[in-house]
């Protein structure tokens, strides 16, 4: 039975790796999801082949699996595409909670507590708790709650004290094993998850989600060692490694440091950078339509404002109308546009935008010099030239979409309010920029009407 179980785990591990490979390309991403799904089913089924499994509660286990599958399927089907980041954070948090509970239950249940098991259970319990509470708070922030939370030295000191406390309790747990010490680790980990994420601003949630995802994977892998489950070890390692890589890439894209994420040392920025402001130039919907229709090349830059207004379908319609008039249209995707990595890709995919028209920052930046019009739909910090030109700006050093090199810029925005970084956008005052104020969805509908009349 154990040999058969390990064979099943080996197959599931292969399918996990193959699924990730397929997910690396938008064309095969759906296939990757299906392959990974099959791998997970195999891993769950073959867990019952463990020689120590007590099937006395089989009905209860099957009921939990069915209930969880039903709830997960319902949420996945009913969630709006604009709320996908919240869903990812929620699922990640549930994974962390499950792993933490497995560690606690196994600790109470196991009769022979060796040092390796104690260390594995303690570590996975604490990290899983951090991931659960942190992910739930991140989800709340994505819903717009706690938006005014700020970083402070007091919170940093408190977080440092929590980390030291967790380490001390962990050492005591190894020396004098006690399930109550493990529960204390669980509570301390949850407290650290809250206080660590609380000072972080909404703009930095992509990095936070990626980091918490890595934590969940790490906790799952260590828990796999604790209960001798190779499927958990492999899948947890894959999630932990990919989450860590993604965290580093996201931090780099936002000019942040991973250590700053861990200690809660970044978030909403209070300071503003000084620069010489020019005059704001507005443009009407009719003039914007004319400018777009008589261009040879247009690049659309989607941002969180597009997501909030749920305007991705209108953006796609404008793309199709312009292409019928012979205009070349491309999309510029910044790695941290929106609330999570790939947020804009998901929204545009929902609107049936051809993936071949989506260009990453490194590929599209050289093309802005030959672009007639850049249409910015609700983006802000990711196009702010201060990141390149102003050493005093908090954004300085952050890679951006270099839209200021285009011939003309139409900036769609509700107002002149700064982005999440809290600094004014120098692009507003660029001589090439024309501001088109209003709700993105409603303004785009008017723009579509004008384009059709030309």
pLDDT in tens, 225-257: 888 888 899 999 999 998 888 888 877 776 667
pLDDT top residue among 63 and 276 = 63
Other Cβ atoms within 10 Å of 25 Cβ, number? 11
How many angstroms separate the CA atoms of 379 and 255, rounded?
A: 17
Q: Is 381 a catalytic residue?
A: yes
Cα radius of gyration rounded to whole Å, the chain: 25
Architecture in CATH of 285-453: 3-Layer(aba) Sandwich (3.40)
Residue 139, sorted as left (phi over 0), alpha (psi -120 to 50) or beta, turns out to be: alpha
- 330 phi and psi angles, rounded to 5 deg: -135, 160
- Show me where the domains of the chain are located: 2-262, 285-453
Look up residue 403 and give its two tokens: 């839209």
Confidence band, pLDDT 50/70/90 cuts, at residue 148: low
Between helices 312-324 and 440-453, what is the axis angle to 10°?
A: 20
Confidence (pLDDT) at 236: 92
Active-site entry in 204, 381, 404, 424: 381
How many angstroms separate the CA atoms of 384 and 81, rounded?
A: 26
Residues β-bridged to residue 301: 376
pLDDT in tens, 272-324: 445 556 688 999 999 999 999 999 999 999 998 898 888 999 999 999 999 99
What mean pLDDT value characterizes the chain? 86
Place of tokens 């404002």: 305
User: pTM score, two decimals?
Assistant: 0.78
Indicate if the pLDDT at residue 212 is higher than 70.
yes
Please give the C-alpha separations between residue 322 and each of 90, 316, 357, 362, 376, in angstroms, as whole numbers.
39, 10, 14, 25, 16
Helix (H, G, I), strand (E, B) or coil at 434: strand
How many angstroms separate the CA atoms of 407 and 432, rounded?
A: 7
How many angstroms separate the CA atoms of 178 and 148, rounded?
A: 40
Confidence (pLDDT) at 247: 85
């Amino acid at each position: 039975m154990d040999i058969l179980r390990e064979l099943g785990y080996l197959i599931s591990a292969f399918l996990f790796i193959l699924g990730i490979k397929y997910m690396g390309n938008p064309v095969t991403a759906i296939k990757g999801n299906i392959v990974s799904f099959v791998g997970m089913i195999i891993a769950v089924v073959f867990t019952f082949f463990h020689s120590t499994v007590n099937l006395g509660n089989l009905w209860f286990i099957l009921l939990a699996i069915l209930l969880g599958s039903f709830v997960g399927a319902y949420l996945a089907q009913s969630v709006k595409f604009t709320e996908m980041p919240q869903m990812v954070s929620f699922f990640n948090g549930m994974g962390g909670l499950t792993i933490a509970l497995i560690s606690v239950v196994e600790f109470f249940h196991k009769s022979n507590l060796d040092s390796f098991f104690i260390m594995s259970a303690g570590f996975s319990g604490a990290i899983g708790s951090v991931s659960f509470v942190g992910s739930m708070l991140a989800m709340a922030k994505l819903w717009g709650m706690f938006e005014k939370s700020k970083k402070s030295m007091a919170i940093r000191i408190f977080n440092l004290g929590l980390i030291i406390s967790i380490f001390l309790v962990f050492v005591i747990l190894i020396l004098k094993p006690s399930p109550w010490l493990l529960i204390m680790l669980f509570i301390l980990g949850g407290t650290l998850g809250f206080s660590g994420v609380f000072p972080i601003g909404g703009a930095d949630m992509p990095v936070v989600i990626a980091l918490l995802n890595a934590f969940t994977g790490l906790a799952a892998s260590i828990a796999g060692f604790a209960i001798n489950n190779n499927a958990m070890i492999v899948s947890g390692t894959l999630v932990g490694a990919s989450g860590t890589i993604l965290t580093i890439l996201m931090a780099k894209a936002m000019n942040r440091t991973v250590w700053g994420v861990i200690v809660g040392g970044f978030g909403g920025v209070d300071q503003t950078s000084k620069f010489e402001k020019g005059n704001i130039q507005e443009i009407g919907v009719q003039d914007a339509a004319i400018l777009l229709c008589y261009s040879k090349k247009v690049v659309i830059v989607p941002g969180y404002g597009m997501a909030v207004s749920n305007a991705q379908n209108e953006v796609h319609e404008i793309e199709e109308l312009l292409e019928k008039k012979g205009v070349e249209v491309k999309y510029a995707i910044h790695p941290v546009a929106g609330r999570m990595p790939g947020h804009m890709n998901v929204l545009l995919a929902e609107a049936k935008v051809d993936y071949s028209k989506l260009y990453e920052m490194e590929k599209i930046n050289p093309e802005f010099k030959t672009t007639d019009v850049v249409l910015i739909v609700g983006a802000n910090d990711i196009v702010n030239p201060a990141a390149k030109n102003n050493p005093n700006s908090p954004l300085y050093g952050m890679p951006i979409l270099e839209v200021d090199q285009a011939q003309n810029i139409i900036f769609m925005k509700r107002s002149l309010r700064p982005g999440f970084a809290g600094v004014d956008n120098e692009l507003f005052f660029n001589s090439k920029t024309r501001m088109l104020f209003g709700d993105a969805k409603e303004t785009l509908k008017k723009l579509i009407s004008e384009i059709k009349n030309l």
